[in-house]
């Protein structure tokens, strides 16, 4: 479950984040101090929230304006206003928000609000698996925490292998995707060896080195150890189908082919 917490006051935002974390253990909580920053995360990064807890009185764009724009960008998002000013309650309901909380907010307040919201059932917890998000920007999590990659292209290599759905990849295929047009074959081979070594070290640090299969100068992901929205969509999981908003790893140009197939799969 992805939850946005929005408040321009840092201390209040930290308190709100803590209350949400206590109420919804394991949730992905994204903090913002401006409504526009939250909207950018949705429109530019594909990070559509399930629930938004937002202050109303904020500079530049207040919560009411934010709610009106968000409903167009992410119509399924549930919006709960968090404010010290009860006079906004009537206007909040006109905006079709799903809740209204008065500061200071506690974990119990959050739980009570969530109990009254119609939320999609969470996907079963994937034990001993990497949780991967391909819809929107590519992200990898393990045990509820983001996996930190020491090299940007090590992360891209994992994304490419996941896109290949467990098929074995040669160095030539990797080079063609990650360094299109590169003519120095020897330098490219050295890069690939370093990236593979770095990726294996990253996964080994979290005990997930077996998620990679390395045989006969080829490399692949062990699909059984990957819990991925893309894979679940291919398997007909309706929650994954509904989570797809038209973006598939937009930061990688080689992903455009799969993005096109998904577009026609959903709309065809």
The values of phi and psi at residue 81, to 5°, are -85, 140
Distance CA(166)–CA(147), nearest Å, equals 20
56 or 9, higher pLDDT = 9
CB 136 within 8 A of CB 243: no
Q: What is the pLDDT of residues 159-206, one digit of tens each?
A: 999 999 999 999 999 999 998 877 777 888 888 999 999 999 999 999
Q: What is the pLDDT of residues 1-31, one digit of tens each?
A: 789 999 999 899 999 999 998 888 777 889 9
pLDDT band for 85, please (50, 70, 90 cuts): low
Closest CA to 229 of 114, 132, 84: 132
* DSSP letters for the chain: -EEEEE-SSHHHHHHHHHHHHHHSTT-EEEEESSHHHHHHHHHHH----SEEEE-S--SSS-HHHHHHHHHHH-TT-EEEEEES-GGGHHHHHHTT-SEEEESSP-HHHHHHHHHTS--PPPPPP-TTSEEEE-BBS-EEEETTEEPPPSSHHHHHHHHHHHHTTT--EEHHHHHHHHSTT---HHHHHHHHHHHHHHHHHHHHTTT-GGGEEEETTEEEE-GGGEEEHHHHHHTT-HHHHHH--S-B-TT-GGGHHHHHHHHHHHH-
Across the range 135-139, mean pLDDT stands at 92
pLDDT the model gives residue 86: 55
CB 219 within 8 A of CB 212: yes
What are the chain's domains? 2-115 (3.40.50.2300), 130-267 (1.10.10.10)
């Amino acid at each position: 479950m992805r939850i946005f917490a929005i408040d321009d006051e840092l201390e209040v935002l930290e308190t709100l984040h803590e209350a949400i974390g206590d109420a919804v253990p394991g949730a992905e909580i994204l903090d913002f101090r401006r409504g526009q920053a939250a909207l950018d995360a949705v429109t530019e990064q594909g990070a559509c929230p399930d629930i938004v807890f937002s202050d109303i009185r904020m500079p530049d764009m207040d919560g009411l304006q934010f709610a009106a724009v968000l409903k167009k960008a992410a119509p399924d998002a549930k919006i709960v206003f968090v404010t010290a000013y009860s006079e906004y309650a009537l206007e909040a309901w006109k905006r079709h928000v799903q809740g209204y909380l008065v500061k200071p907010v506690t974990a119990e307040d959050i739980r009570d609000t969530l109990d009254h919201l119609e939320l999609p059932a969470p996907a079963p917890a994937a034990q001993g698996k990497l949780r991967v998000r391909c819809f929107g920007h590519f992200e990898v999590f393990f045990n509820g925490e983001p996996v930190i990659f020491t090299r940007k292209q090590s992360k891209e290599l994992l994304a490419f292998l996941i896109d290949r759905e467990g098929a074995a990849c040669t160095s030539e295929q990797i080079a063609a995707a990650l360094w299109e047009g590169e003519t120095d074959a020897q330098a490219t081979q050295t890069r690939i060896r370093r990236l593979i070594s770095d990726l294996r070290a990253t996964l080994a640090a979290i005990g997930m080195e077996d998620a990679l299969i390395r045989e006969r100068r080829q490399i692949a992901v062990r699909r059984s150890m990957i819990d991925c929205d893309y894979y679940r969509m291919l398997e007909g999981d309706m929650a994954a189908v509904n989570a797809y908003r038209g973006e598939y790893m937009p930061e990688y140009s080689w992903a455009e082919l799969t993005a096109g197939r998904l577009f026609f799969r959903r709309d065809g």
